Chains A and B, each alone.
Chain A
Amino acid sequence: MRIGLGISIGMHVAILAAGIVSLPSAKLLEPDPIEAMPVDLVPIEELTDLRLGDRKAEPVKPPENRPQPKQTLRAPVEQPKPAEKVAKKPVEAVSEPAPTPLPKKVEEKKPEAKTETQVAAIAPPEAEPEPKPEPAKPVEALAPAPVPKVRPKPPKRIEPPKQVAVEKPKKKELSFNTDDIAALLNKRDPAGGGTPTPAVEPQTFGSIEGKATAAMTQSELEALKARLYQCWNPPRGVREARNLRVYVSISLNQDGSLAGPPKIVESGSDTLARVAAESAVRAVQICAPYDFLPPEKYSLWRSINFIFDPSHMLGG
């Protein structure tokens, strides 16, 4: 009996020991190092809300805005201005602490007025060279070309903020705290202890109640796109061209009418690119007025960049 018990214990111990020694080494739990893919659930407001503003522009006149947060009509009109200013001249905007919105407005109007007068001045074609007696010799008449004039100004508008956005996280990494991985993965700025509240989260120029209305919904955007699809009549040569894109920006009045002639931000210089650019400008003009856009979100669609990209269309 005892011997049997001893054998039994011995055998069990042996099996257990064998199991402990052999099994773990056979099946070491080593998960593959999966690259974590950062996925953000970004509400559409974060992408379209003008009032989020540019983080870099944060020192610009917070006191001025405070007294008039209730004037929702005015506030949206003026608020985006500093952001534009920064975008255009990143260096000066920082050194100049509080550019008042009014002079800016005048500045903006001026070039528009100029182009209008230019068009008007060029349009009357009386100045055409009179008949030359060469047979069947085409005489090219005036070819008003406002395209190059406008082009240089805005194209860099989008890029400077991007660089800022990339640089900023780098600075943060200096205070890298391995104890607080959760905070690292949280891309929001620490909100001064406690749970971060949406109210303090973005450094915004805008009012908090303004934010509620400050997002173009997907269906509103789709309505805008659908309208443009109807208005745009891409010429056949353009339809078949690959990698031909036209960037056109427009600014709108509150009633949805165009505040000025559309600006071609970027397009090529050959004939086809010119034809493409003209068709795009024609499209945004045919589509005007944009009175179907929600008036309470005027600040969002006050200025729109259209990217006309025929490369997905069927050729032929």
Chain B
Amino acid sequence: MTLNRWNLALAARMTACRVAVGLALAAGLAAPAAAQLNVDITKGNIQPMPIAIPAFIGVGGAPDELSMNVANVITANLQRSGLFRPIDPAAFIEASASPEGTPNFANWRPLNAQALVAGRIIPTGDGRISAEYRLWDIFTGQQLSGQQFFATPDNWRRVAHIISDAIYERLTGESGYFDTRVAFIDESGEKDQRIKRLALMDQDGANVRYLTNGGELVLTPRFSPSRQEITYSALSGDQWRVYLLNIETGQREVVGDFSNMAFSPRFSPDGQQVVLSLQQGSNTNIYKLDLRSRELTRLTASPSIDTAPSFSPDGNRIVFESDRGGSQQLYVMGANGGPAERISFGTGRYGTPVWSPRGDNIAFTKQEGGKFSIGVMAPDGSGERILTEGFHNEGPTWAPNGRVIMFFRESRGSGGGPQLWSVDLTGYNEQQVPSPSFASDPSWSPLLN
């Protein structure tokens, strides 16, 4: 009996030993058997990528005005993204690079550029231009992408934006946002008598067009995420109207006529519905408006101010601001209403939430201690980050790739007014977006193509 027990114990211990010995041997032998130097690289240089964009080739094999303009727009786009550092053309050994044939990389390597864009813009003879480019990896000598486009000469900016997007996508691995437009409220005139017009421009501030004449008060323009349509609310006389405006055809229709204040309309991801707020007495509630049937459905019914609704990109949820809990905070509810869950818990007041097109973030305006900040948080309220703060920042809108946020910033003083700014998700790349005069309430379009 005793002997048996001893044997059992010994056997158990032996097994343990075997396992231990086995493990030790396995651990000890596996590594040297790999007989090669293995090096883990877990960090990198997060400086912007140096890129060489020489002037494109034009008519006659040399750069001309049009081809230089295209290269300049591409350079400006990539530079503004904060992810690229275009090299100063003064440092170039060759002034230009032809997309015909392989470039002489020996002339480009000393610049320490990692990529080279070689392009050509020439007329095709039928009144159009042909634009082609090739993107080269300077160190491996391989072509990364190359495309050719045909367009009318007055569309040269779009061509430049499309090429910028292609380069951005190929080098960063995510989609671009340069071939887009921004709708905004153009504000001109004295501070107490501003004329507000609905305006449209390219994302870089070029090609400004005015869509209304300033005869009515326009508010909160919002781009459809799926087509080139804008919805906005306007007050003419004492009637609040929600409009739908097709940019390509210029067709404008009234989708809702309200005697009470109707504002902050926003499209559903499929562009078929609009959510908006309607004021009734001291309460404001959120409604959903079907654009086909014009049927209005009430989504919230609380004795509080619920406003600024924004759909999630999958169309299943809506984020909005509400003061139902005492202070203005962000809430998320289902797309058909129902119980709402509070997601913002920080100090201060949260407003104008906008769901990112990628779905991973919600941008918001936060008011705290006399400052207005623009920040982002995950849809469950975690990971709140402030990207920019100051005297007055408001009205965030997302670029279609969910990387960059545009907003307006108001400057102090009697001569001050709102201007458009952009900031990327890192919070470091903050830039002013040029506009003809004061501008507020931007809304970023989806990619045009």
A residues apposed to B, CB below 8 Å: 35-36, 38, 40, 42, 46-50, 52-55, 80, 83-84, 87, 119, 123-126, 128, 131, 133-144, 146, 157-158, 161-162, 164-166, 168-170, 172-173, 176, 178, 181, 184-185, 187, 216, 221, 224-225, 228-239, 241, 249, 261, 271-272, 274-276, 278, 280-283, 285-286, 300-301, 303-314, 316
Contact = CB atoms under 8 A, between A and B. Distances in A.
Given A275-B171, A316-B426, A187 B33 contact: no
Given A176-B18, A233-B47, A128 B32 contact: no
A141 B41 contact: no
A235 B21 CA distance: 45
Contact of B35 (A83, A281, A312): A83
Those 10 A-B pairs whose CB atoms lie nearest each other, nearest first = A237-B173, A161-B33, A141-B146, A275-B173, A165-B29, A232-B44, A237-B174, A38-B24, A169-B25, A316-B426
Q: How many of chain B's residues touch chain A, expressed as a range?
A: 35 or more
A135 B150 contact: yes
Interface string B417-433: 00000000111000000
B26 A125 contact: no
A125 B100 contact: yes
B27 interface: yes
B41 A229 contact: yes
21 contacts: A40-B28, A47-B31, A52-B32, A123-B102, A125-B146, A131-B130, A142-B143, A162-B30, A176-B18, A225-B41, A231-B45, A232-B43, A236-B83, A239-B44, A271-B173, A275-B172, A281-B140, A286-B139, A304-B37, A306-B39, A310-B42
A22 to B, nearest CB: 23
Given A165-B29, A165-B33, A229 B101 contact: no
A23 B162 CA distance: 89
Contacts of A309: 40-42
Contacts of B44: 229, 232-234, 239, 283, 310, 313
Contacts of A168: 25, 29
Given A123-B141, A125-B143, 14 more contacts: A38-B21, A52-B35, A123-B142, A131-B130, A138-B148, A138-B149, A158-B34, A225-B39, A236-B403, A280-B41, A305-B39, A306-B39, A308-B41, A312-B42
A243 B21 CA distance: 33
Contacts of B166: 138
Contact of B150 (A38, A137, A249, A312): A137
